[in-house]
Each structure stands twice: as C-alpha cells, then as structure tokens.
Structure 1
Amino acid sequence: MNQVTTIPDPLVWGQGGPVFEVFLEPTCPFSAIAFGKLPSLQKEFGEKGLVLKVWLQSQPWHMFSGIICRAILAASCRADGKASAWAVMEAIYAQRESFEFEHHCSGPNMDVTPNALIERIESVGSVPLKVQFARHDLDREIKRHVKYARQNGIQASPTFMINGIVDPGLGSRDPIGNWVDALRKV
C-alpha cells in the first residue's frame, strides 16, 4: 500500500448528524488532549451520528509544525489515505516531545534536519512518507487547510466548530460529556 493517490484523502470520518470540526496543531499539548478524545466521541455517536473533520492548524511557535503538518497530509495521499494520516497523528501525539523544542526554542531537537524528522515520523508512525512528502502538488492541500482556518477566524489550536460555527465554550480539557452535550444541542 505504498501507492500515491491522485488527491489527498480528506480528514473526514463519519456521515450524518452534526459536523464537528477540530483544528489541531500536531505538537501542541492541548491539541494532543483533544485528539485523544476523538475516538471516544466517534464511538459515542457512531459512524452515522457524527461527521468529524480534522483540520491542521500550523503554528510557527511550534518550530517543526509546517513539516509535520505536511507529513500528515502526505500520509493522506497514500492508498489508505485518512487511515495513514490518523496513524501518523496518533504516533506524533503519543511521542510529542520527540517532535518539539523545549520552551519552543531549545533542546536536543535543535540539531534535527527536515529529513531526519521525516524519518522519525515514518519510524514511529510505521507509514512511509518520503515519496508523498515530495509531491509538489501537496502545497494545494496545505493551503486549503490554512485558507479554511483563516476564513473561519481560527487563530490557535485546538479550536472547535459545530455545524460551521466556532464554539469558544469548548476546550481540550473539558470532559467528553461537554462535547457530547454541545453536539446534541444542535
């Protein structure tokens, strides 16, 4: 399954019910908390009870953010698309410190090159990425994520939208029941 698809697989799971959009940065500790709750949320609503959309929100103070976002979107270009992207996100969040600088500006990751970072992501995520990462047309998908976030006034991660409206009352540290209640109110 090392094929390249013609277009990236959208990071969308489920069908029917409310649309829950989550804007995540791959090395943000608060995004990691939110990401960890998504499987429970999906289970609560079932495949036909919720549409979950994940948008990548690159943030420049997370120094590897752009490279890691591109790697996740590269994974979505594989034949198993969004499943590969999910596996990469899951692996990165599980070992977040391996992909982040200490205090956003120091530590052992100061000597990591982009190629070494991609190899590290491939290793922990068990998903080959180099071929897809090098696709020139992948820029379109990255820009699509950025443009959509900007159009919706998204500034930071994680941010949550329900049926196209930002819900500033939801946070990553909220109990999953708060998310469920907000989604059931619509």
Structure 2
Amino acid sequence: MGTTGGKKRLRNLNALVAVLVAVIAVLLGSMLINRGGESSTEAAESSAEQPRNSPLDSPARREPDDPMAMGRTDAPVVLVAYEDFRCPFCAKYATEVAPELKKRYVETGVLRIEWRDFPVFGPQSDRAAKAGRAAARQGAFWRFHDVVYSHAPRRGKPELPPAKLIDYAEQAGISDIERFKADMQDPAVDRAIRRDVAEGTRIGVSATPTFLVNGEPIMGAQPLSTFVSTIEQARQEAR
C-alpha cells in the first residue's frame, strides 16, 4: 500500500505541476500580447505623425506676356520645364511628347507650359539659352525651340556654335538677325537665365529635363503616359 500511495501522490504532484505550468504560460502569453499591442499602437501613432510626401510648391509664374510659355494663364494645370538645348533627353521629350501634350491639353485650355533655362552642358548650352531668349524677344521662341530640337542628333549632344544658332534663327523665321545677335549679348538676357537656374537649384533641380506639374515632379524623358496620368491627376485635384 505504501508503494501504491507513493505513486498516487506522485501522480497528483505531477498533475499540479502541469496545471501550474499551464497557468504560467497563459499569464506570460497574455503579458506578451498586451505589450505587443502597445508597441503596435505606438508604432502606428508614430507613423501617423510622420509627414506624408507632398508635391513641391509650383514655381509657375503665369505671366500673361511670357514669350517662353504657351497656354492660358488661368489653365488649371501648369507644367514647368527645366531644359537645356543640348540635352538629348530634352530633345526626346520635345519631339515625341510635347507635341501631343500641346494638342491634347494646351489647345483645349487644360495645360500651360512654361520653359525654364537650365543650361548644364557648358558654354555652348549657355550660348544656346541666350539664343532662345533672343528669339523670344522677336516672338519666335517656340519656333526656334522646335528647329533646334528637330536637328538634335540621335545620340549625344549637338554642337551649337554661333553660326549654327544663327542658321536655326533664320529657319525659325527671325528676320532681324542683327538684333538677334545683339540680344544674345545683352546682360539682361544672361540675368534672366541665371534667374531660372537659381529657381531650379532652389527647388532641387539637378539635371535636365526636370518637370513640375502643379508641383508634382517628373524626372527625365518619361513616356507620354506618365505625363498624361500626372496631368489628369492634377486636373482632378484642381477642380
């Protein structure tokens, strides 16, 4: 009987230990769950406090007499383009995307496009920017723009010596070439270019082409679909 009683007591003790272990496990699990829930809540609150990415403030000027802009001054969407006449990706945008944007959005009053000079490829880029400004003074900026980019090579950057810029001005229909050459040397033209560069640098432009659609950036020569989706989104938000 002693042996039987000892076995019985041992079974009872084992059962008690098992119960205690189960209770402790439940209590520990509950504590961990509660702590985990608190951590998740704190993380969610911390995440909610983080600022969301948002578009930049649009640098659109909407100047009614701007010869380097196209489209209505009160258009709901403004695309500001930082470009260099020697930039091959700017040429790709200008010849493949811009004409479609003009037809779809500029001519229907939805979009305004504003050019900004951002010469990044040395003295020839600076000279071409001055030529564009000189063409603008005779109301021929966009014609000059189209001629320059239509002659861009398939690869690499074009050479734009003074003689070639004068030839492009003539192709753009600029009749007063002497005035064109004089305007290229006007210090006011250089100051206007520097103003564009300073504006772009201030908002973080570092390469061409860079576009801002109502402040929403588009980097590089993206496909037409990227511009369309961004313009449509900006159009909806402007309503």
Provide the TM-score with structure 2 as the length reference: 0.60
What's the secondary structure of 1:155's corresponding residue? coil
Could you report, residue by residue, the CA deviation over 1:61-117 in whole angstroms, capped at 9, with x for unpaired residues?
5x5111001100111112x2xxx11111111111124xxxx966xx9x5xx854x24
Runs of 4 or more above 4 Å deviation: none
Correspondence 1:183 to 2:183: no
What's the secondary structure of 2:229's corresponding residue? helix
Correspondence 1:133 to 2:184: yes
CA contact (8 A) 2:89 2:209 kept: yes
Higher relative contact order (CA 8 A, sep 6+): 1
The structural deviation recorded for 1:119 is: 2.5
Q: Provide structure 1 residue ranges, at least 5 long, that are not aligned to the other structure.
A: 1-7
Cα RMSD between the aligned structures?
2.5
- Measure, in 2, the Cα distance between the counterparts of 1:23 and 1:39: 17
Partner of 2:84: 25
- Measure, in 1, the Cα distance between the counterparts of 2:115 and 2:156: 26
Equivalent residue in structure 2 for 1:11, among 68, 87, 91? 68
- Measure, in 2, the Cα distance between the counterparts of 1:182 and 1:172: 14
What's the secondary structure of 2:206's corresponding residue? coil
The structural deviation recorded for 1:164 is: 2.4
- Measure, in 2, the Cα distance between the counterparts of 1:50 and 1:162: 9
Correspondence 1:87 to 2:148: no
CA contact (8 A) 1:58 1:65 kept: yes
Partner of 2:198: 147
CA contact (8 A) 1:92 1:125 kept: no
- Measure, in 2, the Cα distance between the counterparts of 1:66 and 1:138: 11
What's the secondary structure of 2:137's corresponding residue? coil
Provide the TM-score with structure 1 as the length reference: 0.75
- Measure, in 2, the Cα distance between the counterparts of 1:23 and 1:96: 18
Partner of 2:112: 51
The structural deviation recorded for 1:47 is: 4.2
Percent identical residues:
22
